[in-house]
Amino acid sequence: ADDIEAAPHDALTLDVVGPEAGGLAAEPDNLVLRAARALAAATGREAWAALTLRKNLPVASGIGGGSADAAAALRVLNVLWDAKLPNEALRAIGATLGADVPVCVESRPMRMQGI
């Protein structure tokens, strides 16, 4: 699995490390950054955090790694920014990023339809 860490910082930054980091080297605006900006916009705040993504899962392998990373970013920044949004709100933000991000926010088996 991939891991995401977030720490206070004066701007929004992302460092991608790990054995599969090379697959994202040419991606200046990946789903983790889009998730952070979407959460900031939804809460009316500036996006600030030093994010580190340890990429262990292969990029574009079809196993939902990017969606899970985006969901993890929403969850960790919700705590770091003390936004206190319920999972329902995080799922709604996640739905703007991709169809499977809301499921990844919940991080449990779910049945989906209609999208």
- pLDDT, one tens digit per residue, over 49-105 is 999 999 988 887 777 788 999 999 999 999 999 999 999 999 999 999 999 999 999
- Torsion of the alpha carbons at 41, 3, 86 and 89, rounded to the nearest 10: 40
Residue keyed to tokens 């993890």:
72
Residue 110 is predicted with a pLDDT of 82
Residue 26 is predicted with a pLDDT of 63
**How many angstroms separate the CA atoms of 81 and 8, rounded?**
9
- pLDDT, one tens digit per residue, over 12-52 is 999 999 898 887 766 677 899 999 999 999 999 999 999 99
Q: Indicate yes or no: pTM above 0.85.
A: yes
Residue 21 is predicted with a pLDDT of 85
Question: SS3 of 6, please?
Answer: strand
DSSP classification of residue 10: S
**How many angstroms separate the CA atoms of 112 and 53, rounded?**
27
Q: What is the largest CA-CA distance in the chain?
A: 40
